[in-house]
Amino acid sequence: MSLSADFSIIGHRGAAGIESENTLRGFKRALDMEVHAVEFDVHRVDGELVVIHDDTVDRTTNGIGTLSDFSFEQLRQLDAGDGERIPTLKEVLDLIPPTVGVNVELKGAGTATATAEVLRHYSHRQLVSSFDHKELQNFVAIGSGIPVAPLFGRWRENGLEIARALGAHAINVSDRIANLERVNDIVDEGFACYVFTVNDVQRASDLKDMGVSGVFTDRPDLFIEFSRTD
């Protein structure tokens, strides 16, 4: 499984550098920029999977407080930017054409089972990732067969061991730790490597030359020609 046939340009939280992140409007904008895939985050609130990055609403909406302070209905009343609501996982997947890949990042406990249940109804190329490797382990244990990728903002000496234990397809790493030696180690172990968050086309090209399988970007508008050639 790969998010595109060659080198994936992945819209980070939709098109977070030019539209309100994790909104339907932002995902539409990313699709307009011909991304190969989109990445977004899911939390579980009142049994519903909502697409939002933080565990508070302060940064990305006109509300204040933690997600747990809100019911699902109350969350849906908030403005997530330009009049957009916080979308559900199903709303995002319904919007994205099956030809475009999706990278769903599990945020918070209790997201694994519910996410697997939703994803099985969709035919997108799918990758599920998380910094919470325990939650990712829970996702794998469900047996959906959907590929997974542990996330690393800082490298851990047992990073490859963690990925092997998960039976991971890929390892997703921060741009600041993506160097030739580390990428080689990841790829030599048989994992794909995706790098976040890359907003410079030359840097993306350099990472591709290293053997990276794709990059997450806030600025898919800068990568339109890059996308068309890969």
Residues with catalytic roles: 12, 53
At residue 194's C-alpha, the angle toward residues 145 and 204, to 5°, is 150
Contact 93, 102 (CB under 8 A): yes
Contact 19, 81 (CB under 8 A): yes
E strand or H helix at 214, and its extent? strand 214-217
Location of structure tokens 């234990």 = 165
Q: How many CA atoms lie within 13 A of 182 on its CB side?
A: 20
At residue 106's C-alpha, the angle toward residues 105 and 111, to 5°, is 145
Location of structure tokens 């939002």 = 52
Q: How many CA atoms lie within 13 A of 173 on its CB side?
A: 26
Alpha carbon 155 to its chain's center: 18
Please name which of 162, 189, 161, 159 lies closest in space to residue 177, comparing C-alpha atoms.
159
Please name which of 158, 156, 217, 207 lies closest in space to residue 178, comparing C-alpha atoms.
207
